[in-house]
Amino acid sequence: MRHQRAGKKLGRDAAHRKALYSNLAGALIEHGRIKTTVTKAKAVKPLAEQMITLGRRGDLHARRQATAFLRSRDVVHRLFADVAPRFKDRPGGYARIIKLGPRPGDAAEMAYLELVDDEYVAAQREERQQAQEPEPVAEATEEAEELDAGADEGADDGDDSAGDADQPQAADEAGVEEAPADPGKTD
């Protein structure tokens, strides 16, 4: 019985399997997308995501752990310099599997294993910011209109009152932009 035996054997001995995982994860980090079988993609995805997490940590020990697994300093450098910073705001799920259908030669199920792209990350960040911003922005514009109306009434000090109206409005806008989202919360 195979109780407590996780992972696929993929028809290889342990050393060959470890080399396969290392090569596939390195190719994913280097190219951003690889075409492989669904079974291999499912086996490599968590390992590649672990490497990206190490890259996000960014310390020397993480770099050495990544080098021990990936076996290529060039790939590790790309991981820490290019790939990991793209995902600094993402709490996980750095890769996805897109199924393609059977391979013509042997009917093996094929898939793309790819890193989630920057546009997706940027779109999620913008949606979160838009969900939080509308109320303070509406209040700031109402206050600005009231200040502008007050400035028009006090036409004797035209330049001074207009300058005073701009300063509180700028302070309100700066307060809206500086309000950081709670990093502990996820949508």
Quick: pLDDT tens for 117-126: 766 556 666 7
| Residues spanned by the domain of 137 | 133-178
The model carries a pTM of 0.63
* Domain-located, residue 186: no
How many Å apart are CA 83 and CA 97, to the nearest integer?
18
pLDDT tens string 90-101? 999 999 999 999
List the CATH number of the domain containing 68: 3.90.1030.10
Which three-class secondary structure state does DSSP give residue 124? helix
Q: Is the pLDDT reported for residue 6 higher than 60?
A: yes
Q: Are residues 74 and 111 in the same domain?
A: yes
* Domain-located, residue 48: yes
pLDDT tens string 122-158? 666 677 778 887 555 555 566 666 666 666 665 555 5
Please give the angle made by the CA atoms of 183, 185 and 187, to the nearest 5 degrees.
Answer: 120
Which three-class secondary structure state does DSSP give residue 48? helix
How many Å apart are CA 37 and CA 18, to the nearest integer?
17
Tell me the CA distances in angstroms from 158 to 36, 105, 143, 153, 163, one per residue in order.
70, 81, 19, 9, 9
Q: Are residues 106 and 150 in the same domain?
A: no
Last residue of a domain, one of 62, 84, 116: 116
- 160, containing H or E segment: helix 158-178
